[in-house]
Amino acid sequence: MKVIVTGSYDESCAVVAEMIKDLVVSKPNAKLGLATGGTPVPIYKKLIAMNEAGEVDFSAVHTVNLDEYCGLSGDNPQSYRYFMEKHLFSQVNLPQGSTHLPNGTAPDMEAEARRYEALVESLGYADLQLLGIGHNGHIGFNEPCESFPAAVHPVELTESTIQANSRLFDRVEDVPTRAITMGIGTILKARRILLIAGADKREIVEKALTGPITPWVPASVLQLHRDVTVITCGE
């Protein structure tokens, strides 16, 4: 595992955006595993600027996102599909149809989980998976639990995640209590993993990287992957 500590969060985002750009330049049909949340927004802004400047071309790229809330359709402003359209997809030359997220309104979530896992598999899994981390150590929506879930699956969100994510909703009661997420196995099949965390996540990042590997700290499983880079910052 490689750890990069930068001087500021903006610098961390610049490092990650450069890494994504370098991958797409060297492999124009790269498969990018993407995340939502506050963490990656500045990275997406930098990728948009690079795309506008003609430094990176997304026309042959496919993206696979980690997760989606259950019960929210793509045109709901709180859905992760909407988030991705707003913060990245609609602003770069990614073809419609090349961006993939689980469908949060599928009638049968178990079937949707199987469909999404099969889709990610058919794309050959991510060349690069971008990850944020929850204060409880979650990656994707793999919450602390008794065993590492392998494949895409529906999940009940923990109270701490609901509280953390309520900042983006009018009321905490509006936060969906279920989501559908790539499993730990799906994430580990990415060829390269970039975990980015701001200074506020220092404690959980340290616990995940240096503590015991346990599903009670889901990100600790990253210690088992052979190509993980963690990007954090001093401030």
**Which C-beta is closer to ligand F6R: that of 46 or that of 54?**
46
- Least distance in angstroms from the C-beta of 142 to ligand F6R: 8
Q: Quick one: which of 31, 40, 198, 230 has its CA closest to 127?
A: 31
Nearest CA among 116, 154, 143, 147 for reference residue 33: 116
Total of chain residues touching ligand F6R, rule CB under 6 A: 13
35 binds ligand F6R (CB under 6 A): yes
Residue 67 annotated in active site:
yes
Could you tell me which of 50, 43, 91, 84 has the C-alpha nearest to residue 64?
84
* 3-class secondary structure, 23: helix
Tell me which of 1, 4, 18, 37 binds ligand F6R, using CB under 6 A: 37
**Active-site annotation holder among 100, 138, 142, 153:** 138
Q: Is 138 a catalytic residue?
A: yes
Is residue 67 a contact residue for ligand F6R (CB under 6 A)? yes
Active site residue 10: no
HSE toward the beta carbon, residue 15, CA cutoff 13 A: 19
Q: Which is nearer to ligand F6R, 37 or 185 (CB)?
A: 37
Closest separation in Å from C-beta 58 to ligand F6R: 19
Q: Is 120 in the site for ligand F6R (CB under 6 A)?
A: no
- Report how far residue 105's alpha carbon sits from residue 154's, in angstroms, rounded to the nearest whole number: 12
Q: Name the percent of the chain in helix, strand, coil, to the closest 5.
A: 40, 20, 45
Q: What residues line the site for ligand F6R (CB under 6 A)? A: 35-39, 66-67, 132-134, 138-140
**Catalytic positions:** 67, 136, 138, 143
